[in-house]
Structure 1
Amino acid sequence: MAAVPILMYHSVRDDPPPDTAALSVSPGAFADQMALLKEKGFTPVRLSGPVEDVPKPICITFDDGYADFHSEAMPVLASFGYPATVFVTTGWLDDAGPDAAGRPLDAMLRWGHVREAAEEGIEIGAHSHSHPQLDQLEDGALRDELVRSRLLLEDGIQRPVTTMAYPYGYSSARVRRAVAQAGYATAYVVSNDVASHRSGYAVPRLTVQRSTSLASFERIAEGAHRFYREKALTKGYAVVRRSRYLYRQAMRRD
């Protein structure tokens, strides 16, 4: 199949808190980016949608489930008729109640927002329950994060949830096996590559952040932006995370 760029957003707001600022975009920038997709002939499609005979297909995704997805991003997407996917951290939802878990970084969606988004054609995916580094968890805790988030979402929106994105983009062969065993059909990493496939458990996406100029955004959408620095950092930190996990395992055996 043809390669499909998959864009990865987080927050869309003018005044993000420090913890989310780098991976946020302003509402104005987001609107300009969506307009550029239209101007350049891109056709946003669903993650699982067909791309045969679709001119310049592209996918739009959002991680974490910030409240501004509902207030800022959804109206812009609706004005262009663009589909999108939001990967929700269930324990971070504003009205998670007894299921609250982890430390939300900003104002988060409510269950009503999630249901409304699903009813309006936004695909809902999982992003774990408490947003941990999944590759650092023991097997039992890992399974709980994956299964709990899927079941909560399916109960909340009354639709199957078959896709997820790894918090921080971190995964490993062990994590990917657990994702498959937890009932997901696909899972998304960062990688900052254009996806040559949209199946499996390590589908790459392309980061859009606050420092992304409109010219850079066009290169990202066209698959021409190389992300040299980001890829080098990702590879280096993968080695660090693997070493941390193996060290803890060795300490437990001792």
Structure 2
Amino acid sequence: MTPGRVPILMYHAVAADPNDATRTLSVTPEAFAEQMAVLADRRLTPLTTADLATRWRSGRPLPERPVLITFDDGYEGVHRHALPALAKHGFPATLFVTTGWIRGAHDTGGALDTMLDWPQVRELADGGVEIGGHSHTHPQLDQLGGARLHAELTRCRDITADELGTPLASFAYPYGYSNRRVRGAVREHGFAQAVAVGNSLAHRAQGPYALRRVTVRRGTDTAEFERLVEGRAIGRTFARDRALTKGYAMVRGTRRLRRPA
């Protein structure tokens, strides 16, 4: 692993039988348990997103072989399947919740599969999982006007803080999309750091509001997972994804500029 560069793993659902909407970005419970065993066998040291950013901000050293385990959206399998595997190894992680999808009083509908409820989110937090924000309804934030962007960030921040009794420090951009305006709004709403996708290793020069992650999919076998956490061949693994992302970023920027005020 290249010194100063950290693999931030991005998971979504952990499910034996996911629906079609989440299948590609899900992993089976058995695969997730095996991947956590790989981290333990290779003596990697998981950190939360807040811990990594705080260390880089303060200049505190990282452990010799750091890694981050992150989950987006808030699918129920994170509690049912991922939490026991994390607890077995004493691993911390970060869960970024879409508050309007979490089952309970604030549910606005639109979730892609079975979601966590707030008692389960609290159990995850009690089990060493940092809870971060992922917007309220999971829109493409860079396509929103100022008022709706403010509402998405405010509701996510305030609902989660109220449910957990503690403020949020970290944020993940829905779909990985952001621009300077969105990153500034995330900072202004009190989040100290944020993660994107990027499918490359994170490093300090990216800045605290554009930390890149690597995607773990249902098709990620053990050999590929080992390459990801060692930082090997990531460019080749995600070459097509990165090319599509660059092209779509140009389209999105043009779409935003053409949209009426």
Shorter-normalised TM range: over 0.9
Q: Does 1:41 align with 2:50?
A: no
User: Aligned pairs, how many?
Assistant: 248
Q: Describe the SS at the equivalent of 1:129.
A: coil
1:15-26 alignment to 2 at 5 Å? Answer: 15-26=17-28
Partner in structure 1 of residue 152 of structure 2: 145
Q: Does 1:216 align with 2:224?
A: yes
In the superposition, the TM-score normalised over structure 2's length comes to 0.91
Deviations 1:117-155 (A, max 9, x none): 112221000000000000111000001101110111111
Kindly provide the amino acid, as one letter, of the partner of residue 243 in structure 1. T
- 81-90 vs 112-121, which moves further: 112-121
Structure-2 separation of matches of 1:121 and 1:73: 12
1:63-78 alignment to 2 at 5 Å? Answer: 63-78=72-87
Cα pair 1:11 1:69 within 8 Å, conserved = yes
- 55-64 vs 100-109, which moves further: 100-109
Q: Does 1:243 align with 2:258?
A: no
Partner in structure 1 of residue 93 of structure 2: 84
Displacement of 1:199 in angstroms is: 5.0
Deviations 1:36-57 (A, max 9, x none): 1111221112223257362311
Give the 3 Å change call, closer, same or farther, for CA 199–77 of structure 1 in structure 2. farther
Displacement of 1:4 in angstroms is: 1.4
Gaps of 5+ in 2: none
1:164-183 alignment to 2 at 5 Å? Answer: 164-183=171-190
Kindly provide the amino acid, as one letter, of the partner of residue 259 in structure 2. R
Q: 1:191 aligns with which of 170, 195, 198?
A: 198
Q: 1:126 aligns with which of 126, 133, 145?
A: 133
Partner in structure 1 of residue 7 of structure 2: 5
Gaps of 5+ in 1: none
Kindly provide the amino acid, as one letter, of the partner of residue 222 in structure 1. E
Deviations 1:91-140 (A, max 9, x none): 00111x3x322510000010101111112221000000000000111000
- In angstroms, what is the RMSD of aligned CA positions? 1.4
Identity of aligned residues (%): 50
Displacement of 1:162 in angstroms is: 1.3
Q: Describe the SS at the equivalent of 1:48.
A: helix
Q: Describe the SS at the equivalent of 1:91.
A: coil
Structure-1 separation of matches of 2:62 and 2:18: 39
Partner in structure 2 of residue 93 of structure 1: 102
Q: Describe the SS at the equivalent of 2:155.
A: helix
Cα pair 1:41 1:55 within 8 Å, conserved = no
In the superposition, the TM-score normalised over structure 1's length comes to 0.94
Q: Describe the SS at the equivalent of 1:128.
A: coil
Q: Describe the SS at the equivalent of 1:20.
A: coil
Structure-2 separation of matches of 1:89 and 1:141: 15
Partner in structure 1 of residue 239 of structure 2: 228
